[in-house]
Chain A
């Protein structure tokens, strides 16, 4: 099997994987939050640690619904990312590796990574409000946090956008040479 066929094969495999992830991404936050009180303790502990304001051991129904909605909003960005990956690996499946469409996929991924950083910060704040919704007045919390991992995600996103620009310029130079007679 030559190298291009290997790329096409991997393109097909990962396209299928990302389609599967695209479908289950919105399901996970809804299932986790709606059934939060019934989750095994091991899983609930992982969920509790995820946010800057730790999640309480149990949540009321309205809190679980709001948490699901907040989770769905962030999942929409993740789904957009998987959609871009599906398109990118569809191109690889066809053996198209260095086209303008490939570059646009990388650029969109970079911007989505940056947006997901912002969404994560907002989600933390929203969840802090939801978790303290039933606290007595004077004990409700809203937090705004910026962690090193958020900054790292933002920097990675910017680097991906920069790489996509370099690839686009390189592709343009290559095309110029290819179509010089």
Chain B
């Protein structure tokens, strides 16, 4: 996946635990783990909004685009 979710970095900066953030934004810890481990196929805007609101950050602080080898070849 070319989009990387830097949730661990923001959680460390805000000194917040994963389970606390999951409870605040209203998703399960399992779903938050899917997000953190890069297995997520889609992210709802409502979820992104809730993350940014509770971590006091911008979407760009959480989401990062990285070019993979396949894109480089094209």
Q: Does A38 contact B (CB under 8 A)?
A: no
Chain A binding surface SS class? mixed
Q: Does B35 reach chain A (CB closer than 8 Å)?
A: yes
Shortest C-beta distance, B61 to chain A (Å), equals 17
B17: Cβ under 8 A from any A Cβ? no
On chain B, the residues within 8 Å of A175 by CB distance are 41
What is the CA–CA distance of A181 and B40 in the complex, to the nearest angstrom? 7
Count the B residues whose beta carbon is within 8 Å of the partner chain — how many?
A: 12
Which B10-45 residues have C-beta < 8 A from chain A?
A: 27, 31-32, 34-35, 39-44
In the complex, the number of residue pairs spanning A and B with C-beta atoms less than 8 Å apart equals: 23
A2 on interface, CB distance cutoff 8 Å: no
Interface size on A, residues (CB 8 A): 5
Contact with B along A149-181 (1 / 0, CB 8 A): 000000000000000000000000001100111
Interface string of B35-74 (1 = CB under 8 A from A): 1000111111001000000000000000000000000000
Interface centre among B32, B42, B44 (most CB of A within 10 A): B42
Complex Cα spacing A180 to B43, Å = 6
Interchain CB contact (< 8 A) of A179 among B27, B32, B34, B47: B34
Contacts of A179 in B (CB 8 A): 34, 39-42
Q: Residues on B close to A: CB < 8 A?
A: 27, 31-32, 34-35, 39-44, 47
